[in-house]
Amino acid sequence: MARKKARQIFEPTPSGFVINLGHDERELVTRLIGELRELLLSNDPRSEPLLRRLFPPAYHLADDAEANAEYQRLMREELVASRLAAIEEADRLLNSDEALNEAAMLGLLQSLNAVRLVLGTLLDVGETHDPSGVSDDDPMIGEHHLYQFLSFLLESAVEALSGQQG
């Protein structure tokens, strides 16, 4: 008996990549991307720590603090504008049945990764993070599940772009 091939989240088709997410999942991702937009546009200094992985220092030595501040001053606006443009496109595509070309997939991937980075910062996720080590009674268990879901989406998008789905 032939085994039916599982439907991929990001399915390559002759017209581009099709997003196979249910309505609830699309709404969730759209909401998360919208929250990222709000964070990027916020002037609230309390949001800055959450964005640190999106705008890492260009210079890492203590003596380079002034050079890093200058880099951030010069580049921050451009980096935010780039992220906002990707967010707008991702939002539009998540709410349509339009197939995504490679550039649109890369923009969606960038937005998903940015949301995941902010959530990972909130959860203090590091290189050795083990999702199975999070207790069911952890007050942030929902956020940890969300982080895993975003990781799964990112992996699926990367596999689709590299032609490794199976």
Q: Which pLDDT tens digit goes with each residue over 82-94?
A: 999 999 999 999 9
User: DSSP readout, the chain?
Assistant: -PPPPPPPSEEEETTEEEE---HHHHHHHHHHHHHHHHHHH---GGGGGGGTTTS--S--SGGGHHHHHHHHHHHHHHHHHHHHHHHHHHHHHHTS-PPB-HHHHHHHHHHHHHHHHHHHHHHT--TT--GGGS-TT-TTHHHHHHHHHHHHHHHHHHHHHHT---
User: Residue 165: its pLDDT value, please?
Assistant: 52
> With 70 as the cut, is the pLDDT of residue 68 above it?
yes
Q: Which pLDDT tens digit goes with each residue over 25-40?
A: 999 999 999 999 999 9
User: Residue 132: its pLDDT value, please?
Assistant: 78
> With 90 as the cut, is the pLDDT of residue 15 above it?
yes
Distance, in Å, from the CA atom of 154 to the CA atom of 111, rounded to the nearest integer, reads 10
Across the range 111-134, mean pLDDT stands at 89
CA distances for 7 relative to 20, 29, 144, 155, angstroms? 8, 19, 25, 15
> With 80 as the cut, is the pLDDT of residue 2 above it?
no
